[in-house]
Amino acid sequence: MLTEFRDFAVKGNVIDLAVAVIMGAAFGPIVTSLVGDIIMPPIGLALGGMDFKDLFISLSGDSYPSLAAAKEAAAPVIAYGNFLNTVINFLIVAFAVFMLVKQANRLKKPAPPPPPPSTKECPYCISAVPLKATRCGHCTSELKAA
């Protein structure tokens, strides 16, 4: 049982998956910083100086100057600005993974073409016979030459 587990754990796919999980965990904060610190400020400035992190809807009907103030008052809110940031994070990560997979697939060797068929089907008994055969070995019917 231990040797089976060792063989499973040392397989290339398991190690590749572990590396991918570690790289993904390390890549997440980079993308979060890219979205929050580089992409969203110019978009917020272009839209009148708004900060997406502070976009929210108060469900209690009360008005609050910021999301932090609403949370401090324990008001129920829908913080859709955070959701927008998270969606943009996801789109960037998905695009980066797409580009990575696309490049990896480009580097793979194409699969060799399948070998040409060596048999044909007898139209009478549906048995496989060699391509050069002029008679079926199963039902002895005459076959067309290849």
Chain segment 63-121, per-residue pLDDT in tens: 888 888 888 888 899 988 888 888 888 888 788 878 888 888 888 778 889 999 999 99
Reported CATH class of domain 2-107 = mainly alpha
In order of 58, 116, 133, the CA distances from 121 in angstroms are 73, 14, 11
Residue 146 above 70 pLDDT?
A: no
| pLDDT at position 12 | 63
Distance CA 129, CA 122 (A): 7
For residue 70, give the H/E element and its range: helix 67-72
Q: Kindly report the CA angle at 8 between 6 and 12, in degrees rounded to 5?
A: 110
Q: How much of the chain exceeds pLDDT 70, in percent?
A: 96
List Cα–Cα distances, 138 to 51, 59, 117, 146, in angstroms.
Answer: 80, 80, 19, 18
Q: With contact defined as beta carbons under 8 Å apart, do 94 and 106 qualify?
A: no
Q: What Å distances lie between residue 127 and 57, 115, 122, CA to CA?
A: 72, 20, 5
At residue 122, the pLDDT reads 92
Structural domain boundaries of the chain? 2-107, 115-146
